[in-house]
């Protein structure tokens, strides 16, 4: 027997200001919506990790996500506290967020999530109600109260037999009694004036299984597991008055309207509990419904795949999207820059590169943020139901063709001008092989300097190959006895046209068709692990190799042409006076090189690191110190023109405003910033728009040289120190730039004010 009198939760809530960061941007999807709440002006709709407020009268939206401080994932329920002007969000993992709309603050209560004595599958918050200064949470272990005056947890109530943890599916308050629908234990109630911690004060009034309770029109109503709709009197008399539809999810109350929410519809009931209107949003046709409300003659639907929608009761054919713009899903597999367009692919594959896990073959479509201003989408049906998309690439010599790789359906070539997709797979292309019939797995495409695309084709361990496609979409299969195994990654092409690509279990491969040479590099050659998850080529001709158990580099990829076998080496850094291997035994997910030859490195469960060209750690971003939605960053893409860095996670995409750009072809668009450098500035001056290997000299107006460097990419930085290590004084400084061969030159100025 257990008897709880102590306060279960007493940790301090974490507070953040709901203000956007100027260095970070969010590229979140608002299509897969989960929950709805409302006040007298706004409709609040939640996705898995964000909330947006839609003003019914001005039609404007306000977004709360990681960029302005909302850090919660798995949202599945919302509640609004009118007296406190606070919105409470609960999640499937026990996290709670309180958005104080009046004070413009966000409070995070993560105590439930962090508790080790609550099993993870019981931390779910099923429902939130607001009553008398408290938000009551119906959870998988019992009921917990949250004080709304100070945004802290109050008591928790374990109301199972003998005070055990038990799944409370729903709660409501009626006649000053707190009612709870308890899984396998029926409906229980207790007076709000009683000691709710003492499970003996909870009375069982019915032993049937109930799935919903609510208070409406001075009635206590509920739905049993058999989908019967019942009233419960103050004397515990239960009367069936109707039935609800199959797929029933919940009730919401909006004034004198009871909204019955099912997985395909919202139905309106009046005070007599009869249905007088309904809106069907079919599961097969539209993806179905997760939540809904109704006010001022309009339905507001949180749909599963089409975002928040508004539907007039008088004209149900007029379905209006109210979600903010964004990609089709947060389950992003990759993003790609093409000119000034940002393209998104979704789904791909799950653990161990299996496209059937965790939830079957993914079916999304493609999104494009056109000119970084307007969202455009190619639907799943427009793509001829092309599934499990992994990546999208563009041929620089034919930029209107998008090459979409799938880990199930082969290669799709989308003609941007014609809006047409041509699919190549094992059924219609001899050079592509299938794992099994109907399952052609392609990872690519990387283009060489001749405009030939290169992709890996995972089939069986005997039939996996490197495949090329020319500008006329003619395929060539490249087979050697060196390339073996399966589950290969997208190739990286170096200046010698050598293709480098990793594999899930067979190490690193290199192939050059001109030299008719192939090589395999494994743990026998100093790789820390044969699961090579990422490779990246930098501006020094070094190949960075990220594996499941650490980092290696090949100092010069030219060595492949003359060496019979390459042995990659580790990088040793000095950390607190001791020699340490950089990323020793770390699970490295992605490496991307920026325009200053710095490396963005993502490490599983540890966020992203920016490693300088001198192997110093410049940044380490995590969910704790940045707007990253997850510490598992699976891909990193850089806008070479602006330096903006995009971090791809399975919970959405965010970007960081960096300044390292890719090399230009001329010196016509050089930028110096900040300019002027004002008092108090502690960062670096950036000079961008450079050609590769440009020499940059900085002098004072008298011609005295104070700094000199060479660009590896398209940007150099200056810490405003002279050669002596002292800060240069106030004044105008000249920046002289010249290309390596001396054919290009430019002069810029920067003013420094101390």
The 10s digit of each residue's pLDDT in 546-555 is 999 999 999 9
Determine, yes or no, domain membership for 542.
no
CA distance 634 to 472: 32
Number of domains in the chain: 1
Q: Among 563, 540, 564, which residue's Cα sits nearest to residue 553?
A: 540
Closest among 277, 174, 166 to 219, alpha carbons compared: 174
Contact 169, 124 (CB under 8 A): no
CA distance 583 to 575: 12
Residue 691 lies in a domain: yes
Which residues, including other chains, have CB under 8 Å from residue 364's CB and lie 6 or more apart?
328, 329, 331, 345, 346, 347, 380, 389
For residue 109, what are its two tokens?
């209560």
Rounded-to-10 torsion of CA 35, 303, 636, 667: -110
The low-confidence residues of the chain, meaning pLDDT below 70, are 1-21, 461
State both tokens at 384: 């001829």
Contact of 549 with 587, CB cutoff 8 Å: yes
Sign of CA dihedral 98, 649, 617, 577: positive
Environment class of 517 (CB within 10 Å of its CB; exposed 0-12, middle 13-18, buried 19+) = middle
d(CA 61, CA 44): 10
Please tell me the distance from the alpha carbon of residue 653 to that of residue 348, in angstroms, as a whole number.
16
Phi, psi for 323 (deg, rounded to 5): -75, 145
The CA distance from 469 to 305, in Å, is 35
Instruction: Examine residue 122 and say whether the peptide bond preceding it is cis (omega within 30 degrees of 0).
Output: no
| Alpha carbons 312 and 303: distance in angstroms, whole number | 16
Q: Residue 263 is encoded by which pair of tokens?
A: 């997985």
Give pairs for 624-629: CB < 8 Å, separation 24+.
626/24, 626/656, 627/21, 627/24, 627/26, 627/65, 627/66, 627/67, 627/654, 628/66, 628/654, 629/28, 629/49, 629/66, 629/73, 629/330, 629/654
Check which CATH number belongs to the domain holding 729 and give it. Answer: 2.60.40.3110
3-state secondary structure 260-274: EEECCEEEEECCCCC
The domain of 681 spans 671-752
Give the pLDDT confidence score for residue 17 in this predicted structure.
55
Cα 10-16-18 angle, rounded to 5 deg: 140
Q: What is the pLDDT of residues 699-716, one digit of tens each?
A: 999 999 999 999 888 999
For residues 100 and 69, give the distance between their C-alpha atoms in angstroms, rounded to a whole number.
12
3-state secondary structure of 561: helix
Place of tokens 């999104």: 367
Residues 558, 560, 562: CA angle, nearest 5 degrees: 90
Strands (E), 314-397: 319-321, 332-338, 341-346, 365-370, 374-379, 389-395
Q: What's the angle, vertex CA 17, arms to CA 85 and CA 648, rounded to 5?
A: 110
Rounded CA-CA distance 169/187 in Å is 10
pLDDT, tens only, 184-225:
999 999 999 999 999 999 999 999 999 999 999 999 999 999
Can you say how many angstroms the Cα of residue 34 is from the centroid of all Cα atoms in its chain? 16
Q: Structure tokens of 174?
A: 């009626």
Asked if residue 682 is part of any domain, the answer here is yes
List of residues 6+ apart from 441 with CB closer than 8 A: 355, 406, 407, 408, 410, 434, 435, 457, 458, 459
Tell me if 31 is assigned to some domain.
no
Report angle CA 460, 461, 467 to the nearest 5 degrees: 75
Longest CA span, the chain: 96
Q: Say what the pLDDT of residue 351 is.
A: 82
> Which candidate, 549, 598, 30, places its Cα nearest to that of 330?
30
Q: Provide the CA 4 distance to its chain's centre, in angstroms.
A: 39
- Per the document, the length of the chain is 754
Is the CB of residue 159 less than 8 Å from the CB of residue 142?
Answer: yes
- The closest alpha carbon to 488, from 523, 549, 449, 532, belongs to 532
How far is the C-alpha of 180 from the C-alpha of 208, rounded, in Å?
12
Measured between alpha carbons, how far is 151 from 327 in angstroms, rounded to an integer? 33
What whole-number distance in Å separates Cα of residue 291 and Cα of residue 294?
11
Q: Is residue 425 a part of any domain in this protein?
A: no
Residue 477 CA to residue 589 CA, distance in Å, equals 28
SS3 587: coil
> With contact defined as beta carbons under 8 Å apart, do 26 and 282 qualify?
no
Tens-digit pLDDT profile for residues 706-750: 999 998 889 999 999 999 999 999 999 999 999 999 999 999 999
Rounded CA-CA distance 456/441 in Å is 8
564 part of a folded domain: no
Q: 619: which residues sit within 8 A by CB, 6+ positions away?
A: 608, 609, 610
Which of 70, 118, 69 lies closest to 93 in space, CA to CA?
Answer: 118
- The CA distance from 622 to 619, in Å, is 10
Task: Verify cis geometry, omega within 30 degrees of 0, for the bond prior to 691.
Answer: no
In a domain, 611, yes or no: no
Contact 647, 657 (CB under 8 A): no
Question: Do the Cβ atoms of 266 and 260 come closer than 8 Å?
Answer: yes
C-alpha–C-alpha distance, residues 450 and 397, integer Å: 9
Give the HSE-up count for residue 754: Cα atoms under 13 Å, Cβ half-sphere: 9
Element (H, E) at 236: none
Any domain includes 720: yes
Buried-exposed string 20-47: b where 16+ CB fall within 10 A, e elsewhere: ebeebbbbbbbbbbbbbbbbeebbbbbb
How far from chain centre, in Å, is Cα 159?
37
């Amino acid at each position: 027997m257990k008897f709880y009198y102590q306060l279960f939760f007493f940790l301090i809530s974490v507070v953040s200001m709901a203000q956007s960061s100027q260095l970070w941007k969010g590229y979140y999807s608002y299509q897969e919506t989960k929950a709805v709440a409302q006040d007298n002006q706004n409709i609040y709709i939640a996705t898995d990790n964000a909330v947006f407020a839609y003003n019914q009268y001005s039609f404007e939206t306000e977004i709360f996500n990681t960029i302005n401080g909302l850090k919660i994932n798995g949202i599945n329920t919302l509640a609004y506290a009118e007296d406190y002007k606070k919105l409470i969000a609960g999640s499937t993992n026990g996290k709670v967020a309180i958005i104080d709309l009046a004070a413009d603050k966000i409070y995070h209560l993560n105590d439930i999530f962090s508790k080790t004595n609550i099993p993870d599958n019981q931390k779910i918050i099923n429902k939130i109600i607001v009553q008398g200064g408290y938000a009551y949470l119906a959870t998988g272990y019992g009921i917990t109260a949250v004080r709304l005056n100070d945004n802290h947890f109050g008591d928790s109530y374990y109301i199972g037999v003998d005070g055990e943890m038990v799944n409370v599916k729903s709660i409501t308050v009626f006649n000053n009694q707190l009612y709870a629908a308890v899984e396998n234990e029926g409906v229980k109630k207790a007076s709000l004036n009683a000691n709710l911690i003492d499970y003996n004060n909870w009375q069982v009034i019915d032993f049937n299984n109930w799935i919903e309770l609510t208070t409406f029109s001075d009635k206590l109503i509920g739905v049993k597991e058999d989908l019967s709709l019942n009233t419960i009197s103050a004397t515990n008399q239960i009367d069936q008055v109707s039935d609800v539809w199959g797929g029933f999810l919940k009730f919401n109350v909006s004034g004198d309207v009871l909204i019955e929410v099912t997985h395909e519809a919202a139905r309106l009931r009046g005070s007599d509990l009869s249905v007088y209107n309904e809106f069907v949003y079919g599961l097969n046709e539209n993806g179905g419904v997760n939540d809904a409300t109704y006010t001022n003659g309009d339905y507001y639907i949180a749909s599963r795949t089409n975002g928040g929608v508004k539907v007039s009761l008088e004209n149900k054919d007029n379905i209006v999207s109210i979600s903010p713009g964004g990609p089709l899903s947060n389950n992003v597999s990759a993003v790609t820059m093409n000119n000034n367009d940002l393209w998104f692919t979704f789904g791909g594959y799950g653990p161990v590169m299996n496209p059937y896990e965790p939830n079957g073959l993914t079916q999304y479509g493609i999104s494009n943020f056109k000119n970084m201003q307007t969202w455009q989408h190619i639907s799943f049906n427009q793509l001829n139901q092309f599934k499990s998309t992994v990546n999208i690439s563009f041929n620089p010599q034919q930029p209107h063709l998008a090459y979409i790789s799938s880990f199930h359906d082969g290669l799709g070539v989308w003609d941007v001008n014609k809006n047409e997709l041509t699919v190549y797979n094992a059924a219609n292309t001899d050079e592509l092989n299938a794992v099994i019939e109907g399952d052609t797995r392609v990872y690519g495409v990387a283009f060489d300097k001749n405009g030939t695309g290169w992709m890996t084709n995972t089939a069986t361990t005997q039939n996996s190959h490197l495949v090329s496609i020319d500008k006329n979409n003619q395929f060539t299969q490249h087979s050697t006895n060196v390339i073996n195994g399966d589950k290969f990654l997208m190739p990286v092409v170096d200046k010698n046209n050598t293709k480098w690509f990793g594999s899930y279990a067979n190490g690193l491969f290199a192939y050059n068709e001109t030299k008719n040479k192939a090589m395999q590099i494994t743990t026998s050659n100093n790789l820390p692990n044969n699961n090579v998850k990422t490779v990246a080529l930098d501006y020094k001709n070094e190949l960075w190799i990220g594996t499941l158990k650490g980092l290696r580099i090949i100092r010069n990829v030219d060595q492949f042409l003359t060496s019979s076998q390459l042995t990659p080496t580790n990088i040793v850094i000095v950390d607190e006076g001791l020699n340490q291997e950089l990323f020793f035994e770390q699970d490295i997910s992605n490496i991307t090189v920026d325009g200053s030859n710095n490396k963005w490195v993502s490490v599983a469960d540890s966020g992203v690191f920016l490693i300088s060209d001198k192997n110093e750690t410049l940044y380490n971003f995590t969910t704790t110190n940045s707007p990253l939605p997850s510490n598992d960053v699976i891909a990193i893409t850089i806008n070479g023109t602006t330096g903006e860095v995009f971090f791809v996670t399975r919970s959405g995409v965010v970007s960081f405003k960096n300044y390292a750009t890719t090399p230009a072809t001329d010196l016509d668009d050089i930028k110096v910033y900040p300019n002027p450098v004002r008092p108090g500035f502690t960062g670096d001056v950036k000079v961008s728009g450079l050609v590769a290997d440009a020499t940059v000299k900085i002098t004072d107006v008298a011609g005295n040289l104070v700094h000199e460097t060479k660009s590896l990419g398209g940007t150099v930085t200056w810490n405003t120190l002279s050669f002596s290590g002292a800060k240069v004084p106030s004044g105008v400084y000249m920046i002289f730039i010249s290309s390596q061969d001396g054919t290009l030159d430019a002069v810029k100025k920067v003013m420094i004010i101390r």
